[in-house]
């Protein structure tokens, strides 16, 4: 079989250096992206490490209450007696009204119980002014519409470019069949769109947090696959694909019963052919049977 493209291993060294430089830089970028996710979203539920809760808190928010309430039931519990904590929470539940702050005596409680720590000199939030406290009396509804819009378009433009070039380099790979190549190259785009959509969906309902994880992993897997295959073919073709374990992969790939993708591909084609037939049949029925009736009926009116 003659290939219509130059396989990765046969490219000139300068081109290989260019491809490798790009792949390595983007790979490091991916690592930093993961670290960033770990530190921003990963800490959202207060525990280190990424979990479904983190994603729910980041996009949907923690709507079970305000930060102030959670703290008063949590780490700030010992700083005020039961009754006073209850008064503060009542005030928050009733909308944290500025006028009520004084009339209900909340200001006195905060002054006597909290300000010794939460003051201007401290590195923790300052409660000497009401505005400092109000920041913690709002319900946490997760990512804002504005921030979602911003990160959505940045991600769509930016990441599609990354996969443009990673996919282009990988398209010169020869150890992967055309079908699998199509899947590996197309998948990141499908997952990218699914990922962005899932943020918005998670903002509406926390159930979709799973989709965020699933889409993110799908993107990561296809990135890894294209990255590793491209690098191996360019620099380690002989040791891996001729003498090494990669040769067994190639044998397996070329054996008739191996390829799941081939079969999926086959059924997809059959499905398309069948639906074409069905469409022709439907059109035929419409023109010969339904349309005359409709025409007659319209003519009567």
Judged by CB under 6 A, the chain residues 118 through 137 that form the site for ligand HEC are 118, 124-125, 136
CB closer to ligand HEC out of 10 and 107: 107
Give least dist CB 190 to ligand HEC, A.
38
CB closer to ligand HEC out of 125 and 218: 125
Place of tokens 């993708």: 261
Rule CB under 6 A: is residue 91 a binding residue for ligand HEC? no
Q: Which of 254, 210, 247 lies closest to 232, judged by CA? A: 247
Rule CB under 6 A: is residue 203 a binding residue for ligand HEC? no
282: tokens are 């439907």
Stretch that binds ligand HEC, among 9-17, 70-78, 94-102, 173-181 (CB under 6 A): 70-78
Return the residue of 6, 75, 141, 147 that touches ligand HEC, per CB under 6 A. 75
Rule CB under 6 A: is residue 16 a binding residue for ligand HEC? no
Q: What is the CA radius of gyration of the chain?
A: 30
Instruction: Kindly state the greatest CA–CA separation across the chain.
Output: 88
Return the residue of 24, 35, 116, 164 that touches ligand HEC, per CB under 6 A. 116
171: tokens are 């398209």
- CB–CB of 137/71 below 8 Å? no
- CB–CB of 29/254 below 8 Å? no
Return the residue of 43, 67, 148, 213 that touches ligand HEC, per CB under 6 A. 67
Return the residue of 51, 79, 87, 259 that touches ligand HEC, per CB under 6 A. 79
Rule CB under 6 A: is residue 43 a binding residue for ligand HEC? no
Q: Which of 211, 76, 64 lies closest to 142, judged by CA? A: 64
Stretch that binds ligand HEC, among 19-27, 71-79, 227-235, 275-283 (CB under 6 A): 71-79
Angle 90-95-98 (CA atoms, 0-180°, nearest 5)? 100
Phi-psi region of 119 (alpha: psi -120 to 50; beta: other; left: phi over 0): beta
Cα atoms found within 13 Å of the Cα of residue 13, Cβ hemisphere only = 0
Rule CB under 6 A: is residue 114 a binding residue for ligand HEC? yes
CB closer to ligand HEC out of 125 and 244: 125
CA 111/CA 91 separation, integer angstroms = 16
- CB–CB of 230/224 below 8 Å? no
CB closer to ligand HEC out of 116 and 279: 116
CB closer to ligand HEC out of 75 and 247: 75
CB closer to ligand HEC out of 33 and 116: 116
CA 27/CA 170 separation, integer angstroms = 14
By CB under 6 A, name the binding residues for ligand HEC.
67-68, 71-72, 75-76, 79-80, 113-114, 116-118, 124-125, 136
């Amino acid at each position: 079989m003659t290939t219509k493209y130059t396989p990765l291993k046969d490219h000139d060294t300068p081109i290989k250096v260019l491809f490798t430089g790009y792949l390595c830089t983007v790979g490091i970028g991916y690592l930093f992206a993961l670290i960033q996710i770990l530190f921003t979203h990963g800490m959202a539920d207060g525990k280190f490490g990424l979990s479904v809760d983190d994603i729910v808190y980041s996009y949907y928010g923690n709507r079970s209450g305000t930060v102030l309430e959670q703290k008063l039931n949590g780490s700030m519990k010992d700083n005020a007696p039961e009754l006073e904590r209850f008064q503060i929470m009542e005030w928050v539940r009733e909308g944290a009204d500025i006028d009520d702050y004084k009339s209900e005596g909340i200001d006195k409680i905060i002054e006597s119980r909290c300000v010794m720590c939460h003051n201007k000199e401290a590195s923790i939030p300052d409660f000497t002014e009401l505005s400092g406290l109000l920041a913690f009396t709002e319900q946490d509804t997760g990512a804002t519409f504005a921030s979602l819009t911003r990160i959505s378009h940045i991600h769509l433009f930016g990441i599609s470019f990354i996969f443009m070039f990673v996919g282009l380099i990988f398209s010169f790979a020869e150890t992967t069949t055309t079908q699998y190549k199509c899947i590996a190259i197309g998948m990141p785009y499908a997952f990218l769109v699914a990922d962005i959509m899932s943020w918005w969906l998670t903002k509406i309902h926390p159930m979709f947090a799973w989709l965020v994880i699933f889409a993110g992993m799908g993107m990561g897997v296809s990135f890894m696959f294209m990255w590793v295959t491209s690098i191996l073919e360019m620099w380690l073709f002989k040791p891996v694909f001729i003498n090494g374990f990669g040769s067994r992969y190639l044998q397996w790939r070329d054996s008739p019963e191996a390829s799941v993708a081939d079969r999926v591909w086959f059924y997809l084609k059959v499905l398309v052919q069948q639906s074409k037939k069905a469409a022709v049949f439907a059109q035929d029925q419409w023109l010969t049977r339904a349309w005359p009736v409709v025409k007659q009926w319209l003519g009567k009116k």
